[in-house]
Amino acid sequence: MFDRIKKYGWFFILWILVFGCNPNDDPGKKVIAEVGIKQLFVSDMAGVIPAGISKEDSIRLADDYIRKWVKQELMIQKAEENLSPDQKDLIREIQEYRNSLIIYKYKNELMKQRMDTTVTSEQIEEYYLNNIENFNLTRNIVKAIFIKVPSEVANPTLLKNYCNDTSKEGLSGLREYCVQYAKSFDLFNESWVDFEVVLKNIPKEISEPELFLPRNNRIEVNDSNYYYLVSIQDYRLRNDEAPMEYVKENIKNLILNRRKIDFLKLLEDNVYTEGIRQNKFKIYKQETHEED
């Protein structure tokens, strides 16, 4: 079947969609494939094959589309043959899906229009202090400076002095040096980063970081080509309380999620209250039959 499609089906598609046709013909009625009583017409493939592509690409795209259509129709036919009438009755499922989709879109639209999405630094700090026990670290984190310099131009003493000078002028001098000489560098001195991420930049393994970090504030490594320096400005160990700045984005999302839950609950309650006030619904008591 697919061989016939390749041999004949794509010819109509190429001729009609790419090269044009007799204006007196109706190209849309050309049948490309059939599965049972279902037919695939040229008009169904409008837009599938873009103009200006090669003949070979046109054949490939047409063949791929037709194969997928045939497979889908065969699966539908098989399902129709093997499912019971009740299993094929999708009216209730379709209605439930439609209801869920309409409600979802309505809620999202109201949230866009009415929900406050501003989270202040004060709100983040308050949440952090009230829930600090929930923010224990699951990894070791550091504030650090990483530098990788070709060995022939490396000046370890100068670099270490730069790293020890945390003033604006010192950091500016360090950055200028790195831009001029370093193969790569990262200044993590103002933000927390996973210690493992830093270690991936150097040819050295730290097997027990929980023991290493409290005892060392620097890692120096040399290989045949480069001098590596990691200056550790600050650290927090696994299971320590996470610094607020490290988890502030998580806290912001938690606040917004809580706000979203409260907003949607209030929305449902208001809709229900409005329904009562405007007599939009009735709930009938169900009779109960108790045994004597």
Is residue 9 very low, low, confident or very high in pLDDT (cuts 50, 70, 90)?
A: very low
Beta bridge partners of 39: 34
Top mean-pLDDT range of 33-37, 170-174, 187-191, 213-217? 213-217
Q: Which whole-number Å values give the CA distances from 275 to 100, 115, 264, 267, 270, in the listed order?
A: 19, 22, 17, 12, 8
pLDDT at 28 over 70: no
State the Cα–Cα distance between residues 228 and 201, nearest whole angstrom: 9
Judged by average pLDDT, the poorest of 123-137, 188-202, 209-223, 273-287 is 273-287
Overall residue count recorded for the chain in this entry:
292
Type and span of the H or E element at 156? helix 156-164
Beta bridge partners of 150: 226
pLDDT in tens, 73-131: 999 899 889 988 888 888 889 999 999 999 999 999 999 999 999 999 999 999 999 99
What is the per-residue pLDDT for 19?
A: 43
Is residue 20 very low, low, confident or very high in pLDDT (cuts 50, 70, 90)?
A: very low
Is residue 292 very low, low, confident or very high in pLDDT (cuts 50, 70, 90)?
A: very low
**Mean pLDDT confidence for 226-236:** 96
Is residue 246 very low, low, confident or very high in pLDDT (cuts 50, 70, 90)?
A: very high
Q: Return the percentage of the chain with pLDDT > 90, whole number.
A: 62
- Answer with the residue of higher pLDDT: 4 or 262: 262
Mean pLDDT of the chain: 87
pLDDT at 8 over 60: no
**DSSP label of 163:** H
Select from 220, 231, 228, 214 the least CA-distant residue to 164. Answer: 231
Domains, the chain, ordered by start: 2-82 (no CATH), 96-135+244-275 (no CATH), 137-236 (3.10.50)
Judged by average pLDDT, the poorest of 40-49, 130-139, 160-169, 239-248 is 40-49
Which regions of the chain does DSSP assign to beta strands (E)? 31-35, 38-41, 141-150, 184-194, 218-222, 226-236
Is residue 56 very low, low, confident or very high in pLDDT (cuts 50, 70, 90)?
A: confident
pLDDT at 272 over 90: yes
**Mean pLDDT confidence for 164-179:** 89
Beta carbons of 146 and 185 less than 8 angstroms apart: yes
**Mean pLDDT confidence for 253-265:** 97
